[in-house]
Structure 1
């Protein structure tokens, strides 16, 4: 089996990432051939030739004391452009004209292709052409300061996901400068923080190499929302999507809008585990009565999320936090997460990254390629009139079914 490792060192490099990667690769218990990619140009050459599709890929990035890696920034730009124009060779990627910057519809991009306003960030009808289609990915971020590692990890995951990359649950191993973020794992594994970091990376590589999307021919889908049906664009888009799933999946929709949904009180681990093993939680209520049983029997979780101040809503955040009890007692690693995100102005990418951090990186659900349908709409019903939205919701539904087809 072949493993591509995108290794971007900082300048100057502390050398820790290279040493940890060497240790992790040498510790793998399955035969593997590794190929290192050390520049965006090298990556784009392989990607444009289709050589990375359906591969196993690790993004390993070292950040400098400012929390930045310039080569990683170049890669993010390349991936974002290719997620809009998947068929364009790297050298032919379009540039924005002055007219487009000024908001004129006829400005679009100088390449003469589709207007960015209707290009469809999120789910594209031709997702099979994306450069990372079928890829299983993992991320390692090694920082020379105590900040920005999680931020870069989430941005890499979101952007690679736009380009088609699948991520297993918990796909990020991050190391801050002093490795204090590994104290808990070091205690569990009865070792020091450095060895915990090495072990974390080794387990991540093994997870990526062994990853397969689970086969779920007639998936059980749980859709969760906290919206008003009369006014919600997000819910309207989900209903348009679910119409394409009728007869092909079992769909359960749960509203967490009405009644009290208490946020997590932060029980001790043992107390939370005790409740979770019984399918219970300290606060009880709709989470215990409806949500826990539904998520346990589901194959797919769909979060319907209007953008509230560049975040999911308060009730949705409480829902995510309260999943901890059942997550501690159940394995979520074979469940997939998708999202419908509508922003009144902008910021859908921020909400998507929040979901990635909370549900994929924390709660261990699979992040399938192009996991989110994202758009901008304000007035009630506006989303249903957007150019190309019918094709995008149909493609989104098809993606949910194809991802489970094996």
Structure 2
């Protein structure tokens, strides 16, 4: 009996522009029993399902039916509860595919959808993004595109939660605890966590040097030792803690609608460890606090850098996104205690075995 899968495929009226994506889907989804949803009127809450979102963008990066889908998804905060998803984006330019994908992943995740690591496959105009994979496969770029999609769908279908008797959580931050609303919010969450061992590492005050782009062979040499040429806190503390943990929490205050310099440097330096250690079995969480707005932009940067790229899995509602400007003002935000408690419970739901977490 074929496994069931739901294909969310916003209709594009120009059949010629969807030809490449349609051919890919026909091949990749052939082993499954597929329910296809092509119009917003047919879109309904998709709970406890395996879902592939396939979005044809054309040259403009705009699919009008997709935006109708997106509106419907964002209105219902439980739209995807219990579901697991993957995303295929196909466009006719070198632009827009990833920005659309990470926005979609953020929205679906807020609605309760989990994503395995590398749950996004994109096809740009000339498929130049598959040059390396094609070389490794000794095949053309189109074949590499199809192979990547097949592997991603298999990860979606096989994805399961991996709770343990105790969660092992690594928290990375570059915050000044005396003034940081993000750190204060994490303390509120941490107080509610049970059956979890927590390691916190600061990346402040010149303790981290950014990646300078070593030659591949040099990077691999150090990677094989779970190390990096530039050493420091990254190799002495962060790398061992990542290998030991089953969840990583990034405290990410919104600086100019971007991750802070030290958090960005950490992500860049993570490449050396990633070359020989992938992170499909590790969860990513984040706490993002903005002084004004734009927290979703920062959360989406974490999605693309650490889940789409570095293979961390996204649990449902992986990021707590809040707004607070003045020091300690997060404590006065309406409903913040309840939301912090709910976020902590969501962490425990995926990290800790149910009999412990009752």
Question: What is the DSSP-based 3-state SS (H/G/I as helix, E as strand, rest coil) of the residue aligned with 2:143?
Answer: helix
| C-alpha distance in 2 between matches for 1:309 and 1:345 | 10
Question: What is the DSSP-based 3-state SS (H/G/I as helix, E as strand, rest coil) of the residue aligned with 2:309?
Answer: coil
Question: What is the DSSP-based 3-state SS (H/G/I as helix, E as strand, rest coil) of the residue aligned with 2:252?
Answer: strand
Match of 2:76 among 65, 72, 82: 82
Match of 2:59 among 54, 61, 65: 65
| C-alpha distance in 2 between matches for 1:389 and 1:146 | 41
| Cα-to-partner distance string for 1:290-322 (whole Å, 9 max, x where unaligned) | 100111100110000100000110000001111
| C-alpha distance in 1 between matches for 2:73 and 2:248 | 26
| C-alpha distance in 1 between matches for 2:255 and 2:241 | 25
How is 1:8-27 mapped onto 2 (pairs within 5 angstroms)?
8-13=10-15, 14=17, 15-26=19-30
How is 1:84-123 mapped onto 2 (pairs within 5 angstroms)?
none
Q: Give the equivalent residue in structure 1 for 2:316.
A: 369
- Give yes or no for contact 2:182–2:251 (8 Å, CA) kept in 1: yes
Cα distance, 1:11 vs structure 2: 3.3
Q: Give the equivalent residue in structure 2 for 1:239.
A: 187
Cα distance, 1:405 vs structure 2: 4.1
| Cα-to-partner distance string for 1:80-136 (whole Å, 9 max, x where unaligned) | 1112xxxxxxxxxxxxxxxxxxxxxxxxxxxxxxxxxxxxxxxxxxxxxx1211111
RMSD between aligned residues: 1.2
| C-alpha distance in 2 between matches for 1:322 and 1:355 | 15
Establish whether residue 171 from structure 1 lines up as the match of residue 119 from structure 2: yes
- Give yes or no for contact 1:63–1:143 (8 Å, CA) kept in 2: yes
How is 1:6-405 mapped onto 2 (pairs within 5 angstroms)?
6-13=8-15, 14=17, 15-26=19-30, 28=31, 32-44=32-44, 47=45, 52-83=46-77, 130-245=78-193, 247-405=194-352
Cα distance, 1:220 vs structure 2: 0.3
- TM-score norm. by structure 2 comes to 0.95
Gaps of 5+ in 2: 354-358
- Give yes or no for contact 1:11–1:64 (8 Å, CA) kept in 2: no
Question: What is the DSSP-based 3-state SS (H/G/I as helix, E as strand, rest coil) of the residue aligned with 1:280?
Answer: coil
- Give yes or no for contact 1:310–1:348 (8 Å, CA) kept in 2: yes
Across the two proteins, how many residue pairs are aligned to each other? Answer: 349
| C-alpha distance in 1 between matches for 2:49 and 2:256 | 37
Cα distance, 1:9 vs structure 2: 4.2
